[in-house]
Structure 1
Amino acid sequence: MSTFPTRLIEGYQTFMSGRYLAEKNRYRQLAETGQEPHTMVIACCDSRSAPETVFDCGPGEMFVVRNVANLVPPYQPDDNLHATSAALEFAVQSLKIRQIVVMGHGRCGGIKAALDPDATPLSPGDFIGHWVRLLKPAAQQIQDSQLLTSGERQIALERISIRNSIANLRTFPCVKILEERGKLQIHGAWFDISTGELWVMDTQSGDFYRPELPLA
């Protein structure tokens, strides 16, 4: 019989004596009334860029779906398994989310795999390879540019993939209709793990810029 990881038990103990103790009424309220998060974040499953940590959100504030390279596939109403699409459907149709943020990050392994045409599959299923092919057209254009360094190619595709995911979001009828009615806002963001910098996407131009932070 395997032992549950000690580090996780210790972390749980700290959570119960710290954050849960301070917010136990909030947790009990959420248990009784259900969740009403204000924002959905589609983020990468990279352990270094947790949205709840980056945005300092408490319980019940944020509905998060994470996958390799924070990708949103296009709308495909078929019988295949669509985890990200299912989470999106629930957030928009059931939770009545008012904001969606596609959040990418620096040094993304999924983006690196998309840029490497010679990448060796990690398993016979090559699940990562199939998944990041969503970015194949953009990755091909960046790979062919001799004016960019490898680091510049990486950052370029990390940000282009955010715009690509936003475009795919708008192929979902429920998203497109609600956005056109002004009941849903879509945003892009990019987090630099190394420096902690947050860059947000201008909704009109698609350019990324660092937002001004309020004075402490």
Structure 2
Amino acid sequence: MHNIRPLPQYLAGRFHGWKATSYAENSAWYRRLATDGQRPRAMVISCCDSRVHVTSIFGADSGEFFIHRNIANLVPPYAPDGLQHGTSAAVEYAVQALKVAHLIVVGHTNCGGVAGCHAMCSGHAPELEEKTSFVGRWMDILRPGYDRVRDLPEGEQVAALEREAVLVSIENLMTFPFVRAAVEGGQMSLHGLVHDISEGTLFQAVDGGKSWTAV
């Protein structure tokens, strides 16, 4: 395939630095992970945004989190015959194969996907309404959240929709039969968080998402 190019030198250099330091100092641990397989305690669903780095936020080591990232940290409703299988497949594997004890949805401030959803739903981004827009069709998942914030003062709507992106995802997770069974059976708990990028703070949904408190 003629379009494949060598890795940029700055990334190759960072890899060699990691291999000489972090890997060299923990090589036995990495070999154990390779041999014994992964046993993460939690799955984290977060946004693709390059500013959101959940392993750094929680100080996590390799093998600790099963992480899935997508635009605006969304989970579609359970739909075996649908087309949005990437996130659903990750959830299925985490719950049924890895038996994670916690499933955490992490949203964040200044989310471009959420801002795009708000613009689309309020009629200011017709390009996202096109059937050919992958982003628009993905952000359709969040339309129920927009309906819940549309009557707020305009300046508060986007921030509220960022929280709704977490709550809608948790609501949709509960439509998966195996997620509901694990939660109701006490084998797994669901958590909703929003990370404020500029302040470095973390807020968690409480009272079924009716309010948010600092972690």
Identical aligned pairs, as a percentage? 38
Partner residue, 1:175: 179
- Flag the 1:141–1:177 CA change in 2: closer, same or farther, 3 A: closer
| Contact 1:201–1:209 (Cα < 8 Å) also in 2 | yes
Per the normalisation by structure 1, the TM-score is 0.90
| Contact 2:167–2:209 (Cα < 8 Å) also in 1 | no
- Flag the 1:203–1:37 CA change in 2: closer, same or farther, 3 A: farther
Q: Separation in 2 of the partners of 1:143 and 1:204? A: 20
- Flag the 1:124–1:180 CA change in 2: closer, same or farther, 3 A: closer
- Flag the 1:79–1:135 CA change in 2: closer, same or farther, 3 A: closer
Partner residue, 2:20: 17
Q: Separation in 1 of the partners of 2:197 and 2:37? A: 33
Q: Separation in 1 of the partners of 2:127 and 2:102? A: 35
- Equivalences for residues 37-186 of structure 1 within 5 A: 37-78=40-81, 80-116=83-119, 117-121=123-127, 125-145=132-152, 147-149=153-155, 152-186=156-190
CA-based RMSD: 1.8
AA at the equivalent of 1:209: T
Residue 118 of structure 1, CA deviation: 2.2
Q: Separation in 1 of the partners of 2:108 and 2:90? A: 21
Residue 144 of structure 1, CA deviation: 4.2
Residue 141 of structure 1, CA deviation: 4.4
| Contact 2:76–2:84 (Cα < 8 Å) also in 1 | no
| Contact 2:75–2:173 (Cα < 8 Å) also in 1 | yes
| Contact 1:42–1:64 (Cα < 8 Å) also in 2 | yes
Unaligned runs of 5+ in 2: none
Per-residue displacement from partner, 1:142-162 (whole Å, max 9, x unpaired)? Answer: 3443x241xx22210000121
Unaligned runs of 5+ in 1: 212-216
Deviation beyond 3 Å, 4+ runs, structure 1: 120-124, 203-206
Secondary structure (helix, strand or coil) at the match of 2:26 reads helix
- Flag the 1:5–1:176 CA change in 2: closer, same or farther, 3 A: same
- Flag the 1:66–1:7 CA change in 2: closer, same or farther, 3 A: same
Per the normalisation by structure 2, the TM-score is 0.90
Count of paired positions:
208
Q: 2:193 aligns with which of 168, 189, 193?
A: 189
- Flag the 1:132–1:19 CA change in 2: closer, same or farther, 3 A: same
Q: Separation in 1 of the partners of 2:29 and 2:132? A: 43
| Contact 1:114–1:132 (Cα < 8 Å) also in 2 | yes
Select between 90-99 and 10-19 the one with higher mean Cα deviation. Answer: 10-19
